[in-house]
């Protein structure tokens, strides 16, 4: 059966084009793309000149299975992803217990297959129990489907442990993802040091903690030759180090969370804990530098860093409240803020949302090309709405965008040609 | 009346007029407290609960005396020993107390912003008696009253705040208040105890105490909060006293009529020399304690008036 998407604004991140045309899908893959007179098909979808783009590939989604299913499950996260135009969730291993053995990974894969309408690509821990002491069975986990290895926000402090894990990972071609944050300087911090944190009396961390940890990681990358991805670069100060490493030909990429691209430290206001994320929100000058870095391609990947927290974990004094925000459903409209602000063109934005993350993980998705999997999102980039957090599909509703005016509605989502979400 | 707030959570939201209103009314209570008949009945029938999640002797006693002199039923809850230890959250504790219909809730909490959070969940007036490193508004008000009485004005003065600024809510509230009233504020301390970007607060920052004290009208010493130290902010107490302890030699750099203040409790020989603290010509430390009761009476009086007005349906009072 052939499905035709006609009259669509095709957002092609590879060619970086944004033009009207049609797209033909058969058997879960893209059969043909063109302009002008569309071919015949069994099923025709008139896109009414809205945007058709490859589905988002989101690196770093926390699905709280196993361990904290009351916060998020594969079912609820999958529904949220579908509604947000995310067709591949690359899940984090910072669950309870951590995903550090092939057996736990198999549980995750099975649950994902049963419950999630979107693709799940799991990451595994880099060290056992994410304790930074012994490396996991990287080979077995890779065979079981792990697409990358990371201890999440738990930094491997011991350089010897990390260098050995990286060396071993390199021999298998495995991608190591790290959270560049000096553990000593950032201990106990819940804000970025500066005037705002000082006046609010919040324990704070210097932006320098990120650069120091990135410098350390990049030295070990140079030493071991491993494929390395920094999960979130959030400060202007870390960017030159990243640029140098890339210039020297290291196999290095970096991501940034949507919150660090669209919010700053002042949004915390009167201790609003839904704005507490890790690393903490930064200064406006950092945010602006990060947007430029995404536009220039220095930062490769935009992710949601979807971190569900229940109300109890957030209804606490700011210092004690849990960090993290849900973002699967708000990633797309929040990212479109950058387009509406003329900071970045839509196809370039989509490189960071779909093409680059897919490439980095060796996935075939993220492209609008003949032969690629038909993972697609149809959206109206201009449709305005006010976000009501109680409409979110996640089990946890901890979004910083509650009540925010946003633009960009998902009209439909397809995974392997299958229509999994229809929006209004 | 220009004091329109529902709670006293910090100095930050107050306008200069509101600060003046509190201080003017405090003068009345200073007189009352010095008279043999110390009772007023502006809080008669009202219930005041003091919730102290952190140890406190003087602030709690001051609030208790203030409430009793105004005729409130005052209850002290030692929160360190109570349900918080049993795992109850701050908000649940607040809701439980709220159900007992208190009128005034005086709260001290070790986390910055925690009193704001609590105030959102109750329908009585909340007074912040210190939240983490954030604010301690009644301390700043009593300091302001002390300064105004000693100097005859509360503007165009040079006030040097010395010591552990980074961990001090007293310093933050005082910086805000003195700035709003158009004074020149200097912060003096080792750089490890000065908060990040302090110069952006509209103050001058000194690490040399003598330079910082030059020409000061008011010298405000802070307690070196040993219990807050992670360790390693200063090399030793004796080196701290040598460089930042207030003694006669360093005080000589301030104006001849400069007054010396301390929010207490003092560490004699750490941040202040005992003879300076006891010098009745310079030290106003005892007067600060006296003003504390008067200021707290004034603040509770004003909040109670607003509370009554709000309950009587006179809506516009809540801002």
Low-confidence residues of chain A, pLDDT below 50? none
- B316 annotated binding-site participant: no
Q: What is the largest CA-CA distance in chain A?
A: 65
- Residue B299, number of CB atoms within 10 A of its CB: 26
How far is A49 from A212, CA to CA, in rounded Å?
47
**Given pLDDT bands bounded at 50, 70 and 90, which one contains residue B1?**
low
Of B279, B266, B156, B283, whose CA–CA distance to B219 is shortest? B283
Helix (H) or strand (E) segment spanning residue A43? strand A43-46
A175 pairs with which residues across the strands?
A: A227
> Which of residues B225 and A33 earns the better pLDDT score?
A33
Give the start-end residues of each E strand in B5-57.
47-52
Q: What is the pLDDT of residues B70-93, one digit of tens each?
A: 999 999 987 776 655 566 788 888
Q: What is the pLDDT of residues B24-83, one digit of tens each?
A: 999 999 999 999 999 999 999 999 999 999 888 899 999 999 999 999 999 998 777 665
Distance, in angstroms, between A132 CA and closest chain B CA?
A: 25
Distance, in angstroms, between A192 CA and closest chain B CA?
A: 10
Burial class (CB in 10 A: 0-12, 13-18, 19+), A188: exposed
* CA-to-CA separations, B139 to B4, B213, B264, in angstroms, rounded: 20, 22, 10
What per-residue confidence (pLDDT) applies to B316? Answer: 46
Of B150, B134, B160, whose CA–CA distance to B142 is shortest? B150
pLDDT at B319 over 50: no
Q: Do A270 and B113 touch (CB under 8 A)?
A: yes
Q: What are the start-end ranges of the H helices in A176-319?
A: 183-186, 195-200, 208-224, 239-247, 258-262, 284-296, 311-314
Q: Do B117 and A320 touch (CB under 8 A)?
A: no
What per-residue confidence (pLDDT) applies to B2? Answer: 83
Using alpha carbons only, what angle is made at residue A65 by residues A59 and A71, rounded to the nearest 5 degrees?
90
Q: Are B244 and B189 in contact (CB under 8 A)?
A: yes
- Residue B153, number of CB atoms within 10 A of its CB: 12
What per-residue confidence (pLDDT) applies to B57? Answer: 87
B185 pairs with which residues across the strands?
A: B159
Out of B111, B117, B196, name the one closest to residue A198 (CB). B196
Q: Which of A189, A271, A272, A320 to mutate to test the interface with B (most CBs of B within 10 A)?
A: A271
Out of B132, B197, B200, name the one closest to residue A201 (CB). B132
Q: Do B116 and A270 touch (CB under 8 A)?
A: yes
- Residue B120, number of CB atoms within 10 A of its CB: 11
What per-residue confidence (pLDDT) applies to B228? Answer: 54
- B36 annotated binding-site participant: no
- A1 close contact with B: CB closer than 8 A: no
Bond preceding residue B265 cis, omega within 30 of 0 = yes
How far is A66 from A144, CA to CA, in rounded Å?
17
Residues in chain B with CB shorter than 8 Å from the CB of A316 are: 89-91, 117
What per-residue confidence (pLDDT) applies to B87? Answer: 64
Helix axes B16-34, B137-151, angle to 10 degrees: 70
Of B84, B80, B89, B70, whose CA–CA distance to B28 is shortest? B70
Torsion of the alpha carbons at A389, A390, A395 and A400, rounded to the nearest 10: 10
Q: How do the domains of chain A map onto residue ranges? A: 2-51+374-422, 54-360
Q: Are strands A43-46 and B73-78 parallel, antiparallel or unpaired?
A: unpaired
What per-residue confidence (pLDDT) applies to B83? Answer: 53
Distance, in angstroms, between B35 CA and closest chain A CA?
A: 39
Using alpha carbons only, what angle is made at residue B134 by residues B191 and B63, rounded to the nearest 5 degrees?
125
Pick the CATH number of A2-51+374-422 from 2.30.40.10, 3.40.50.1390, 3.40.50.700, 3.40.630.30: 2.30.40.10
How far is B2 from B22, CA to CA, in rounded Å?
9
**Given pLDDT bands bounded at 50, 70 and 90, which one contains residue B317?**
very low
Structure tokens at A216: 């350390």
Residues of B (265-294) whose Cβ lies below 8 Å from A: none
For residue B60, report the phi and psi dihedrals to the nearest 5 degrees. Answer: -65, -45
Burial class (CB in 10 A: 0-12, 13-18, 19+), A4: buried
Q: Are A14 and A352 in contact (CB under 8 A)?
A: no
A150 pairs with which residues across the strands?
A: A177
What per-residue confidence (pLDDT) applies to B318? Answer: 44
Distance, in angstroms, between B128 CA and closest chain A CA?
A: 14
How far is A131 from A125, CA to CA, in rounded Å?
10
Out of A195, A271, A316, name the one closest to residue B201 (CB). A195
Domains and CATH numbers, chain B: 7-135+289-305 (3.40.50.1370), 137-284 (3.40.50.1370)
Q: Closest chain A residue to B12 measured between Cα atoms?
A: A199
A149 pairs with which residues across the strands?
A: A124, A176
pTM of the model: 0.91
ipTM for the whole complex:
0.87
- Can you tell me the mean pLDDT for B296-312? 94
How far is A144 from A151, CA to CA, in rounded Å?
18
> Which of residues B143 and B270 earns the better pLDDT score?
B143
Residue A153, SS3 per DSSP:
coil
Residue A386, SS3 per DSSP:
strand
- B164 close contact with A: CB closer than 8 A: no
- B169 close contact with A: CB closer than 8 A: yes
Fold topology of A54-360: TIM Barrel (3.20.20)
Structure tokens at A97: 């217990």
Q: Are strands A418-422 and A405-415 parallel, antiparallel or unpaired?
A: antiparallel
| Beta-carbon contacts below 8 Å between A and B | 64
- A195 close contact with B: CB closer than 8 A: yes
Residues of A (19-58) whose Cβ lies below 8 Å from B: none
Residue B276, SS3 per DSSP:
helix
Distance, in angstroms, between A200 CA and closest chain B CA?
A: 5
């Amino acid at each position: 059966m052939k499905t035709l998407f006609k009259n669509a604004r095709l957002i092609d991140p590879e060619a970086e084009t944004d033009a009207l045309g049609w797209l033909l899908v058969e058997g879960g893959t893209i059969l043909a793309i063109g302009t002008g007179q569309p071919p015949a098909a069994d099923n025709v979808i008139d896109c009414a000149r809205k945007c058709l783009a490859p589905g988002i590939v989101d690196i770093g989604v926390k699905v709280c299975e196993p361990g904290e299913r009351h916060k998020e499950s594969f079912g609820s996260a999958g529904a949220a992803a579908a509604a947000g135009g995310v067709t591949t969730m690359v899940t984090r291993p910072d669950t309870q217990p951590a995903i550090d053995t092939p057996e736990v990974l198999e549980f995750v894969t099975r649950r994902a297959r049963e419950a999630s309408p979107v693709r799940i690509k799991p990451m595994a821990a880099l060290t056992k129990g994410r304790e930074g002491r012994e490396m996991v069975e990287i080979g077995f986990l890779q065979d079981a489907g792990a697409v990358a290895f990371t201890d999440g926000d738990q930094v491997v402090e011991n350089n010897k442990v990390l260098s050995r894990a990286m060396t071993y990972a390199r021999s298998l071609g495995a991608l190591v993802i790290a959270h560049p944050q000096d553990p000593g300087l950032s201990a106990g911090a819940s804000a970025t040091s500066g005037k705002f944190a000082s006046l609010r009396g919040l324990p704070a961390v210097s932006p320098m903690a990120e650069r120091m940890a990135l410098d350390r990681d990049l030295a070990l990358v140079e030493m071991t030759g491993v494929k390395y991805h920094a999960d979130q670069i959030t400060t202007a100060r870390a960017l030159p180090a990243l640029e140098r490493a890339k210039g020297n030909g290291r196999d290095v990429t970096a991501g940034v969370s949507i919150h660090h691209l669209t919010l700053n430290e002042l949004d915390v206001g009167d201790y609003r804990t839904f704005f507490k994320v890790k690393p903490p929100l930064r200064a406006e000058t950092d945010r602006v530098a990060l947007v430029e870095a995404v536009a220039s391609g220095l930062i490769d990947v935009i992710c949601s860093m979807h971190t569900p927290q229940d109300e109890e974990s957030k209804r606490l004094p700011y210092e004690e409240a849990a960090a993290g925000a849900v973002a699967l459903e708000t990633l797309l409209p929040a990212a479109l803020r950058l387009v509406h602000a003329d900071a970045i063109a839509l196809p370039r934005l989509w490189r960071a949302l779909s093409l680059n993350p897919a490439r980095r993980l060796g996935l075939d998705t993220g492209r609008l090309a003949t032969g690629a999997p038909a993972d697609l999102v149809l959206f109206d980039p201009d449709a305005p709405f006010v976000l009501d957090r109680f409409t979110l599909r996640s089990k946890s509703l901890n979004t910083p965008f509650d009540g925010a005016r946003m633009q960009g509605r998902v009209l439909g989502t397809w995974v392997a040609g299958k229509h999994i979400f229809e929006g209004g | 009346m220009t004091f329109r707030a529902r709670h006293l959570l910090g100095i930050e939201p107050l306008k200069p007029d509101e600060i003046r209103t509190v201080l003017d009314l405090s003068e009345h209570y200073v007189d009352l407290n010095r008279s043999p008949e110390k009772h007023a009945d502006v809080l008669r029938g009202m219930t005041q609960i003091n919730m102290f999640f952190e140890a406190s002797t003087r602030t709690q006693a001051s609030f208790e005396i203030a409430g009793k002199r105004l005729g409130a039923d005052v209850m002290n809850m030692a929160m360190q020993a109570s349900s918080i230890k049993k795992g109850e959250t701050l908000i649940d504790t607040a809701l439980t107390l709220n159900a007992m219909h208190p009128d005034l809730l005086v709260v001290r909490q070790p986390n910055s912003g925690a009193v704001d959070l609590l105030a959102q969940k109750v329908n009585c007036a909340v007074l912040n008696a210190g939240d983490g490193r954030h604010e301690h508004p009644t301390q700043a008000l009593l300091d302001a009253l002390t300064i105004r009485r000693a100097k005859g004005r509360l503007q165009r003065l040079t006030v040097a705040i010395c010591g552990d600024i980074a961990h001090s809510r007293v310093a933050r509230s005082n910086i805000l208040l003195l700035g709003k009233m158009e004074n020149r504020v200097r912060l003096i301390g080792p750089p490890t105890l000065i908060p990040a970007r302090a110069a952006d607060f509209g103050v001058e920052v000194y690490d040399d105490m003598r330079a910082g004290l030059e020409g000061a009208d008011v010298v405000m010493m802070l307690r070196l909060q040993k219990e807050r130290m992670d360790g390693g902010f200063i090399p030793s107490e004796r080196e701290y006293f040598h460089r930042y302890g207030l003694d006669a030699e360093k005080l000589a750099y301030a104006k001849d009529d400069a007054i010396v203040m301390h929010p207490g409790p003092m560490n004699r020989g750490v941040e202040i020399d005992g003879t300076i603290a006891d010098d009745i010509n310079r030290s106003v430390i005892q007067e600060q304690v006296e003003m504390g009761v008067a200021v707290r009476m004034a603040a509770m009086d004003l909040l109670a008036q607003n509370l009554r007005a709000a309950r009587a349906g006179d809506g516009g009072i809540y801002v």
